């Protein structure tokens, strides 16, 4: 029986760190604002990576940020190809992570319930 590989998790963490470093220092696209990389999921064959990002702002600002990230994906993939010890760099797909948004909404609802009951 074959042991499950932890390589996708290690590669995902390296991608997360590299993309986060790029976003904090080198992103020149004006559409990319304050973006936080929350998670990266890499396929078992290491060919695709889903990069989950958290963006503060309106839905319009979030859409602009995703557009900017999508246009930077090719550049980032080239950069990853140089940085990562892989035969080919994974194709990047950016998605909004709405976890923080949902947590804030739940906290607000709980606060409203508590104030109404008290």
Q: What CATH code would you report for 7-117? A: 3.30.300.20
Please name every residue paired with 52 in a beta bridge, in sequence order, or none if there are none.
39, 95
Q: Where are the domains of the chain?
A: 7-117
Question: Quick one: how far is CA 95 from the chain centroid?
Answer: 7
Tokens for 41?
A: 């999921």
Average pLDDT, the chain: 88
> Which candidate, 47, 36, 5, places its Cα nearest to that of 101?
36
Rounded to the nearest 5 percent, the helix, strand and coil shares of the chain are 55, 20, 30
pLDDT at 94: 95
pLDDT tens per residue across span 13-70: 999 999 999 988 877 888 888 889 999 999 989 999 999 999 888 889 999 999 999 9
């Amino acid at each position: 029986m074959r042991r499950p590989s932890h390589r996708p998790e290690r590669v995902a963490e390296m991608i997360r760190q590299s993309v986060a470093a790029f976003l904090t220092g080198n992103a020149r696209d004006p559409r990319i604002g304050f973006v936080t990389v929350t998670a990266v999921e890499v396929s078992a064959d290491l060919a695709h990576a889903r990069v989950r990002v958290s963006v503060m702002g309106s839905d319009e600002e979030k859409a602009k940020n995703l557009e900017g990230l999508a246009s930077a994906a090719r550049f980032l993939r080239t950069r990853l190809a140089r940085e990562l010890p892989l035969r080919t760099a994974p194709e990047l797909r950016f998605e909004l992570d709405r976890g923080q948004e949902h947590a804030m909404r739940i906290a607000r609802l709980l606060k409203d319930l508590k104030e109404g009951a008290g």
